[in-house]
Amino acid sequence: MAKKSITLDVDPSIMEKNMRIIEENPVEEELNKLLASVNTVPYKTVNPKPGCCIKTYSKPDNKKVFVNICTSEYIPTAPDITNDELMYILSSDDPSSFRVPMSIGEGRTEQDKSGAPATVYDVAVHPKMFEKYEMGDLFQTFFLSVVFEGLQDKYQIELETTRISKLKHRKSIGTIRPQRVQIRDIKQCEEIIKPLIEELEEPKPKVEENSASQKELVYRLRREPPMGEIDYLLAEFIVPATVDMKNLNLEIGEDRLVLDSKGLYKQVDFYLPCSVDQDIIDAQLNRNNDMLTIKMPIIH
């Protein structure tokens, strides 16, 4: 998925407001009010089951990387298609029209059979998708290309795609970690059936409650207009005054949004239910209400 960085425009008249010493968080009370009004994101912690393990290597250091392909019925599944239908989609002008919903966990270090350290990722899919993966070479090739693309895109790594092997006697390396599945409801585009927004991540170790690095940005995603044919998606984030504009990095692809605050808050990363036009994204950070608004026109 191609991604494009977005420049955040700020009203110059309010820049002075941010250049002051803050002894107490001035938006704490307002955040509590907004938390009650902004839709919260429900989530479920799931324990994926092992399916198979794929070995590859990272570039350019040529270190071993293992990908545990595992399953959970809580992950959405894609429509069932034949090999002929998949061939047709892959040769069409829009091969991305067929998507594989998956949960990509964070990387960790485990030992391989020789005791050497190696990086391991858990990737969970619906059991039906794994059955499809096991059935034929064509879908295996397509599926693994999607998995590797997802890993490389999410963690900004480069993996070997030609030196891939499936472990014969092990279904996983290390213990598969629980994963947290967040699902945000939003009306789907008319006549488009695609997965709803979902944030799938591995639970973090417990930390002190006052640790800002473990807090989550409050946000919501909605469609405009609320009824009828959709024109654009509108993402709204509450960005506390303690987070400087220079610490925000927004990347939007055709079907994905990533907002990073350089570790101040948890990274927000989710898929969009509609394809959006990356060339005319409008992002505005308003410090009067500490709201980042992102307007994303959809591609009809």
Residues of the chain with CATH 2.60.40.790: 3-40+211-297
Q: pLDDT grade, residue 41 (50/70/90)? A: low
pLDDT at 18 over 70: no
3-state class (DSSP) for residue 16: helix
pLDDT at 252 over 60: yes
pLDDT of 61 = 93
Distance, CA of 263 to CA of 201 (rounded, Å): 16
Q: pLDDT grade, residue 83 (50/70/90)? A: confident
DSSP lists the bridge partners of residue 213 as: none
| 63 Cα distance to chain centroid | 25
pLDDT at 38 over 80: no
Class of domain 3-40+211-297 (CATH, top level): mainly beta
Distance, CA of 53 to CA of 109 (rounded, Å): 15
pLDDT at 68 over 50: yes
Average pLDDT, the chain: 77
Q: What is the DSSP letter of 145?
A: H
Distance, CA of 39 to CA of 41 (rounded, Å): 7
What is the arithmetic mean of pLDDT over 37-57?
80
pLDDT of 139 = 84
Q: What does the pLDDT look like over 215-235, one tens digit per residue?
A: 888 888 888 887 778 888 999
pLDDT of 93 = 64
pLDDT at 143 over 80: yes
pLDDT of 181 = 73
Question: Sign of the C-alpha dihedral, residues 101, 103, 122, 62?
Answer: positive
What is the arithmetic mean of pLDDT over 247-272?
89
pLDDT at 255 over 80: yes
pLDDT at 141 over 80: yes
What is the arithmetic mean of pLDDT over 55-63?
94
Q: Please give the share of the chain, as a percent, with pLDDT higher than 90.
A: 31
Cβ atoms within 10 A of the Cβ of 256, count? 19
pLDDT of 208 = 43
Question: Quick check: 19 and 133 in contact, CB under 8 A?
Answer: no
